[in-house]
Amino acid sequence: MTAARLLWQLAALGVLLVAAPLILGIARKTRAILTGRRGPRVWQLYADLRKLSLKGAVYSITTTEVFRLTPLVVLATTLLASTLLPLNGQRALLSFAGDFAAFAGLLALGRFFMVLGALDTGSSFEGMGASRDVTFASLVEPGLFVTFVALSVAGGALSLSGMLGAELWLRWGAVAPTMVLLAGSIFVLMLAECARVPVDDPATHLELTMVHEVMLLDTSGPDLALVLYAHAVKLSLFAAIIVDILVPRSTLPPWSAIALLGAGIIGVGILVGVVESTMARLRLSKVPLFIASGSALGLFGLILLLR
Amino acid sequence: MTSLTELILFLVVLSDFAVLGTSRLSSCIRAVALQGLLLGLLPLVIDESLTRHAVGLALGTVAVKAIVLPAFLRWAIREAAVRREVEPLIGYTASIALGIAALAVAFAVANVLPMRGGEAELLIPTALVTVMIGLTVLITRAKALLQVVGYLMLENGIYLFGLTQARRVPFLVEAGVLLDVFVGVFIMGIVVFHINREFDSISAARLTELHE
């Protein structure tokens, strides 16, 4: 029984890791279709990743070991974070009380190294991007914690597996509208955390206006592939949280739970594309209000659950 | 039906926050019109038997709060040629934070109140928070027009409170309240128009200056 369960958990994780670049492809394709273009194929990112990994890396002479370590740390923290989520709708590979703090902490560690790597190049553009990225992250994190606390109240557990997995199913009927609020909150925070429109425009070509992309200017070849892949995995992790909140699947057979996860991730990808094609990027000074509104949704949910 | 009521009340609270967080006057008016529409739907949803009282109340509310008053406010912003609230006394992010605090207080107070909303348990906290957020808008926005919007939200909150007693309150009283609000907003709109004519601005702060 436990061996079979472990196998299903690994299968869910495998689906997430393989499908991760697809979510970005779908978001791009949706945006292209809605804005009247044909756009790249949805699996373009796989081809890009392959091409990049076959290339050699070029390192600026001002960089040190930190810069070379960055892509590895970013990928490692993201992968480790993905083992904490109950992807098959029941339990995660790793689960302990308070692991939502570990989840947020791992993502923060990845970001910390990303920023260190950017600062290490000595480029003023990258420093500026790093400063903006950290500013947004400091606003996103409290919101993320509020939403996690609300989820833990709803699920009655302190671990991600408890709040998103099997226990949530039992109470979902009673708290469904609140769960929609929390999913909305996570969606807004995802747009900010994963540097999508309206917080950041991933398609911009001007260094001055970049936030996340500008930190990758000096990263090349396999290193760039690692960071891009980690970014895609991070986006699909947030998408998986949204799917877990909205579609509790602990009573379903494992294969259909995993299929629903895949469908849900594709759905979130389409939603991201719709947001990107209907909203303009916000002015920098408006971003805190946007993130605060997302956190307010989470707080609203928390208040409703505590009443 | 309870979950539908809950959903509508959620949307009412979210429209409160939409007014708190936007600077564009037309968006605020749209949010308050949506709120009026939701309030109009509520008596139909709460009172499962479609009595004449409930239907009349719903129709009157939608007509006044979702159609006539927003149209009038839109006319007023066109006449006064204002688009945005530029300098609120409290910033938008801080306003949202205040709104959340109001929400927490509303739920805490609603828990100790002796009266209950019956099936619609969320009704009283939603009413309280709408009143408080309406007051916040009324106090913190400099443009007279947004103050009217705040006043409308304040009244919407009182209306929500009244819905807990919907079956006992006679129709005439409701109609009277609606009429009062209508006249009040009408007068305010005309006053706003005249303030704009006299002062070339609808900032309420200018009203401290005396003009001949």
- Neighbouring CB atoms inside 10 A of A2's CB total 6
pTM (predicted TM-score): 0.91
- B96 reaches A (C-beta below 8 A): yes
> Which residues partner with B203 through β-bridges?
B143
Q: Which chain B residues are closer than 8 Å to A182 by Cβ?
A: none
**Interchain CB distance below 8 Å, A292 and B93:** yes
Q: Give the nearest partner residue to B100 out of A176, A289, A296, using CB atoms.
A: A296
- A303: closest chain B residue by CA: B104
Give the containing element (helix H, strand E) for A97: none
Confidence at residue B12, expressed as pLDDT on a 0 to 100 scale: 94
- Asked whether the predicted pLDDT for residue B210 surpasses 70, the reply is no
Q: Give the nearest partner residue to A288 out of B13, B93, B104, using CB atoms.
A: B93
Dist CA A204 CA A219 (whole Å): 17
Confidence at residue A129, expressed as pLDDT on a 0 to 100 scale: 92
- B86 reaches A (C-beta below 8 A): no
- Neighbouring CB atoms inside 10 A of B3's CB total 11
Name the minimum distance, in Å, from the CA of B140 to any CA of chain A. 17
Q: Provide long-range contacts, Cβ within 8 A and 24+ apart, for B201-206.
A: B202/B80, B202/B82, B202/B143, B202/B144, B202/B145, B203/B142, B203/B143, B203/B144, B204/B142, B204/B143, B204/B144, B204/B147, B205/B142
Dist CA B185 CA A303 (whole Å): 33
Quick check: A147 and A301 in contact, CB under 8 A? Answer: yes
Quick check: A160 and A201 in contact, CB under 8 A? Answer: no
Output b/e per residue, B7-22; b: 16+ Cβ within 10 A: bbbbbbbbbbbbbbbb
Confidence at residue B169, expressed as pLDDT on a 0 to 100 scale: 64
Q: Which chain B residues are closer than 8 Å to A176 by Cβ?
A: 3
Which of A219, A199, A211, A218 is CA-nearest to residue A288? A199
Output b/e per residue, B105-117; b: 16+ Cβ within 10 A: ebbeebeeeeeeb
**Interchain CB distance below 8 Å, A307 and B125:** yes
- Report the SS3 class of residue B90: coil
- Least confident among A1-15, A142-156, A258-272, B114-128: B114-128
Tens digit of each residue's pLDDT (9 = 90 or more) over B136-155: 998 998 777 888 888 889 88
**Interchain CB distance below 8 Å, A177 and B10:** yes
Q: Which chain A residues are closer than 8 Å to B125 by Cβ?
A: 307
Dist CA B64 CA B157 (whole Å): 15
Give the containing element (helix H, strand E) for B141: none
- B171 reaches A (C-beta below 8 A): no
- B5: closest chain A residue by CA: A177
- Give residue A270's identity as a one-letter amino acid code: I
Helix runs in A35-159, H state only: 44-54, 65-82, 99-120, 124-155
Two tokens at A131? Answer: 């400063």
Angstrom CA distances, A43 to A165, B27, B115, stand at: 30, 39, 59
pLDDT averaged over chain A? 91
Quick check: A117 and A215 in contact, CB under 8 A? Answer: yes
Which of A169, A173, A151 is CA-nearest to residue A160? A151
**Interchain CB distance below 8 Å, A289 and B100:** no
Number of H helices, E strands in chain B: 8, 0
Confidence at residue A171, expressed as pLDDT on a 0 to 100 scale: 79
- Asked whether the predicted pLDDT for residue B1 surpasses 60, the reply is no
**Interchain CB distance below 8 Å, A306 and B10:** no
Confidence at residue A100, expressed as pLDDT on a 0 to 100 scale: 94
Quick check: A202 and A49 in contact, CB under 8 A? Answer: no
Tens digit of each residue's pLDDT (9 = 90 or more) over B55-76: 888 888 888 889 988 888 888 8
Dist CA B147 CA A165 (whole Å): 46
Q: Give the nearest partner residue to A307 out of B93, B96, B107, using CB atoms.
A: B107
**How far is CA A101 from its chain centroid?**
15
Dist CA A79 CA A82 (whole Å): 5
**Interchain CB distance below 8 Å, A177 and B7:** yes
Q: Which chain A residues are closer than 8 Å to B88 by Cβ?
A: none
Question: Which positions ≥6 away from A176 have C-beta within 8 Å?
Answer: B3
What does the H/E/C string look like for A264-302? HHHHHHHHHHHHHHHCCCCCHHHHHHHHHHHHHHHHHHH
Q: Which chain A residues are closer than 8 Å to B110 by Cβ?
A: 307
- Neighbouring CB atoms inside 10 A of A49's CB total 18
- Asked whether the predicted pLDDT for residue A274 surpasses 90, the reply is yes
* Mean predicted confidence (pLDDT) in A1-24: 89
Most A-contacting residue of B90, B93, B121 (CB-CB within 10 A), to test interface: B93
Q: Which residue has the higher pLDDT, B70 or B46?
A: B70
Confidence at residue B42, expressed as pLDDT on a 0 to 100 scale: 87
Name the minimum distance, in Å, from the CA of A143 to any CA of chain B. 12
**CB-hemisphere CA count at 13 Å for A162?**
17
**Interchain CB distance below 8 Å, A303 and B103:** yes
Q: Which chain B residues are closer than 8 Å to A288 by Cβ?
A: 93
DSSP letters for B65-82: IIIIHHHHHHHHHHHHT-
Q: Give the nearest partner residue to A300 out of B7, B13, B21, using CB atoms.
A: B13
- B99: closest chain A residue by CA: A296
DSSP summary character for residue A84: T
Which of A85, A137, A58, A97 is CA-nearest to residue A265? A85
Name the minimum distance, in Å, from the CA of A141 to any CA of chain B. 16
Number of H helices, E strands in chain A: 10, 0
- B129: closest chain A residue by CA: A300
Confidence at residue B25, expressed as pLDDT on a 0 to 100 scale: 87
Which of B161, B143, B92, B131 is CA-nearest to residue B13? B131
Dist CA B141 CA B132 (whole Å): 14
- Neighbouring CB atoms inside 10 A of A267's CB total 17
What is the Rg, in whole angstroms, of the alpha carbon atoms belonging to chain A?
19
Tens digit of each residue's pLDDT (9 = 90 or more) over A69-96: 999 999 999 999 999 999 887 888 888 9
* Mean predicted confidence (pLDDT) in A234-245: 94
Q: Give the nearest partner residue to A289 out of B3, B21, B111, using CB atoms.
A: B21
- A298: closest chain B residue by CA: B100
- Asked whether the predicted pLDDT for residue A117 surpasses 70, the reply is yes
Confidence at residue B212, expressed as pLDDT on a 0 to 100 scale: 57
- B125 reaches A (C-beta below 8 A): yes
- Least confident among A94-98, A147-151, A157-161, B51-55: B51-55
Most B-contacting residue of A300, A302, A306 (CB-CB within 10 A), to test interface: A300
- Asked whether the predicted pLDDT for residue B86 surpasses 70, the reply is no
